[in-house]
Chain A
Amino acid sequence: MSVEVAGMGRAKTGGPLKLAVPRGALLDETLDVLDAIGVDTSEVRSESRSLIFEAGGLTLVTMRPSDVPTYVEAGAADVGITGKDVLLEQSDRVVYELLDLGFGRCRMVLAGRRGDEALGESERRLGMMRIATKYPRTAERHFESTGRQVEVIEVKGSVELAPLIGLADGIVDLVASGRTLEENDLEVREEIVDCTARFVANRVAHKLRAAEVDELTAKLREATG
């Protein structure tokens, strides 16, 4: 009906600060940090199917990491924790990035098959590489800023598959230990950016609930610094 995303950005009626908590790879370390600042996360850790928890004066809302910017931008969550990879991919979402939490460290890289020159060959002979990725915008931005032409192919599942069976010459993906790449006979060709977990805030919450947001930021800074 208007500039709002339907049904969102309208639920801010006071009460405890709503913190968007990422499920998946960042969950355990996020909960450890919350425990460290005195927020009891045992309920979240239990096998509960609930999505919303009250703890330590906060409302914890659990969701996919890639949904965190959506909820925070709309103000449905006041603050949130998610990976820098997600923020880069959704850089058009207006959220305030307040703190680097330091955990969940991984690298966004360009990788190709070990010993295979498909990337270089395609670039040299065709002037264009085919890159499979789950991060199309980050990948496009990287190649654009380095002055190269690519065809970005977005895939949803195991991206390592793409170069193995000829869908793409290489992949842009997030790498933590590098084991997945190794197991699939892939190697890192270029480092694109280092990613860690970040603490973000809705811009209106950052203004209107300044004291609470600042206090939480300070606690998180101390616990992760």
Chain B
Amino acid sequence: MTTHPIPPGTRDILPDEMRELRHLHLAMIEVFEERGYGEVSTPAIEYDEVLARGGGRTADSAYRFFDERGDLLALRSDMTVPIARLVASRFAEAEMPLRLCYLANAFRAVRPQRGQMREFAQAGVELIGAPAPDGTAEIVEVLEAALDAAGLGRAVIGLGDADLYRQLLAELGIEGEARESLLGRLAAHDLVGLEGELGELDGIGDEQVATCMALSQLRGGPEVLDEARELGGDAVERATARLGETLEALDRRGVADRVQIDLGLLRDLGYYSGAILEVYDPAIGHVLGGGGRYDELLKRFGLDLPAAGFALYLERVHVAQMEEESRAGGEPR
């Protein structure tokens, strides 16, 4: 038998796995459709200039190439930016809120020999034109239903605020490169480096360093909002107020139980603002998915609308599903 290689980080899926994945795909889409989210599909290849509007890490597509006319194309690294493009072009006059969902492959650069996937499947939703806090609560409700449908009843949703540290650092007068570096440390949760860097900045006292450090470690139930407020400051006040409103909205829908407030949460995608989400399951050590509000993204496509969404990494959800099943002693489907 001759083996013909495929690029590292890509893979073939064979019937046994595909059968299980298909179940999962159908379960996800059913949850989304039931809640009024219509499935869309967009091209895997877009103009680089369009994807670059996402900003941050998504702006830097790992795979760019020229077409036969010399136009610069890129492979999408997520679905949120393509859907923002789609909404601005096709649904600008539509009645809001607009509910869309997808099941799609996206592409990212990988680090060699780490078993990371270059091409990976995501299932997610985007809710356009529904502001915080209720729009956020709706997204969480759909996410919880999706996790239940996948058999991940133990999964936990972390809820944080994307603007907290940007505003807190601005309040402390930390700008430019120093701020970006600190945000990087926060996103990586490098507390030793964070403390060291904060300590070296002029005009930042021990107390302010301690506030930043303590804040990044606050996670748990609603009580952490009170603990955060005690640390003081306008940025903290505003973020805890936003999170408090989101919690109330979640309570009204009866979906607050599986949400863990996490003031240390910071996603490194370039377009998030306000509430951000991450999904964990006790059965596996990796994050299953995430999302949040991106109220400023549509503006970059000429449509000023609030929006929020989430995406689940389907391969990881499948791993977690298998672990949860074997833990429960059940047979795989």
Total cross-chain contacts (CB, 8 A): 97
- The minimal Cβ–Cβ distance linking B330 to chain A, given in whole angstroms, is 15
Q: Contact size class for B?
A: 35 or more
Q: Which of A5, A97, A207 contacts B280 (CB 8 A)?
A: A207
Q: Is the CB of A4 within 8 A of B115?
A: yes
CB of B168 closer than 8 Å to a CB of A? no
Residues of A contacting B56 in the complex (Cβ-Cβ under 8 angstroms): none
CB of B287 closer than 8 Å to a CB of A? yes
CB of A44 closer than 8 Å to a CB of B? no
> Assuming A2-B319, A3-B316, is B193 touching A204 (CB within 8 A)?
no
Q: Is the CB of B286 within 8 A of A4?
A: yes
Q: Is the CB of A3 within 8 A of B120?
A: yes
Q: Is the CB of B284 within 8 A of A75?
A: yes
> Assuming A2-B315, A97-B191, is B114 touching A204 (CB within 8 A)?
no
* Closest chain B residue to A196, Cβ basis: B192
C-beta contact mask, B188-206 vs A, less than 8 Å → 1, else 0?
1111110000000000000
A residues 190-224 near B (Cβ < 8 Å) are: 198, 202-208, 210-211, 214
CB of A225 closer than 8 Å to a CB of B? no
Q: Is the CB of B287 within 8 A of A203?
A: yes
A residues 62-98 near B (Cβ < 8 Å) are: 73-76, 92, 94, 96-98
> Assuming A202-B285, A204-B284, is B111 touching A97 (CB within 8 A)?
no
Q: Is the CB of A3 within 8 A of B327?
A: no
* Closest chain B residue to A75, Cβ basis: B285
CA distance A4 to B280 in the complex (A): 14
CB of B17 closer than 8 Å to a CB of A? yes
CB of B323 closer than 8 Å to a CB of A? yes
Residues of A contacting B283 in the complex (Cβ-Cβ under 8 angstroms): 10, 12-13
Q: Interface of chain B, helix or strand or loop or mixed? A: mixed
Q: Is the CB of B191 within 8 A of A98?
A: yes
C-beta contact mask, A1-36 vs B, less than 8 Å → 1, else 0?
111111011101110000000000000000000000
Q: Is the CB of A97 within 8 A of B190?
A: yes
CB of B282 closer than 8 Å to a CB of A? yes
CB of B302 closer than 8 Å to a CB of A? no
CB of A140 closer than 8 Å to a CB of B? no
CB of B62 closer than 8 Å to a CB of A? no
CA distance A94 to B285 in the complex (A): 11
Q: Is the CB of B280 within 8 A of A10?
A: no
Residues of B contacting A40 in the complex (Cβ-Cβ under 8 angstroms): none
CB of A100 closer than 8 Å to a CB of B? yes
CB of A175 closer than 8 Å to a CB of B? no
CB of B117 closer than 8 Å to a CB of A? yes
CB of B161 closer than 8 Å to a CB of A? no
* Closest chain A residue to B111, Cβ basis: A92
- The minimal Cβ–Cβ distance linking A98 to chain B, given in whole angstroms, is 5
Residues of B contacting A206 in the complex (Cβ-Cβ under 8 angstroms): 189
CA distance A206 to B286 in the complex (A): 11
CB of B318 closer than 8 Å to a CB of A? yes
- The minimal Cβ–Cβ distance linking B310 to chain A, given in whole angstroms, is 16
CB of A55 closer than 8 Å to a CB of B? no
CB of A99 closer than 8 Å to a CB of B? yes
Residues of B contacting A211 in the complex (Cβ-Cβ under 8 angstroms): 220
Which of B158, B286, B316, B327 neighbours the largest number of chain A CB atoms within 10 Å of its CB? B286
Which of A10, A92, A94, A96 neighbours the largest number of chain B CB atoms within 10 Å of its CB? A10
B residues 74-117 near A (Cβ < 8 Å) are: 111, 114-117
- The minimal Cβ–Cβ distance linking A4 to chain B, given in whole angstroms, is 6
Q: Is the CB of B191 within 8 A of A205?
A: no
CB of B262 closer than 8 Å to a CB of A? yes
Residues of B contacting A214 in the complex (Cβ-Cβ under 8 angstroms): 217
Q: Which of A74, A92, A210 contacts B220 (CB 8 A)?
A: A210
Q: Is the CB of A73 within 8 A of B285?
A: yes
CB of B156 closer than 8 Å to a CB of A? yes
Residues of A contacting B281 in the complex (Cβ-Cβ under 8 angstroms): 204
Q: Which of A1, A4, A198 contacts B284 (CB 8 A)?
A: A4
Nearest first, the 7 closest Cβ-Cβ pairs linking A and B are A75-B285, A96-B189, A2-B315, A9-B285, A100-B192, A204-B280, A97-B190
**A interface residues, Cβ below 8 angstroms from B:** 1-6, 8-10, 12-14, 73-76, 92, 94, 96-100, 198, 202-208, 210-211, 214
* 26 A-B contacts (beta carbon < 8 Å): A2-B117, A2-B315, A3-B316, A4-B284, A4-B319, A9-B284, A9-B285, A12-B284, A13-B283, A13-B327, A73-B285, A76-B285, A97-B190, A98-B189, A100-B192, A202-B285, A203-B285, A204-B284, A204-B285, A205-B285, A206-B189, A207-B158, A207-B262, A208-B282, A210-B219, A210-B260
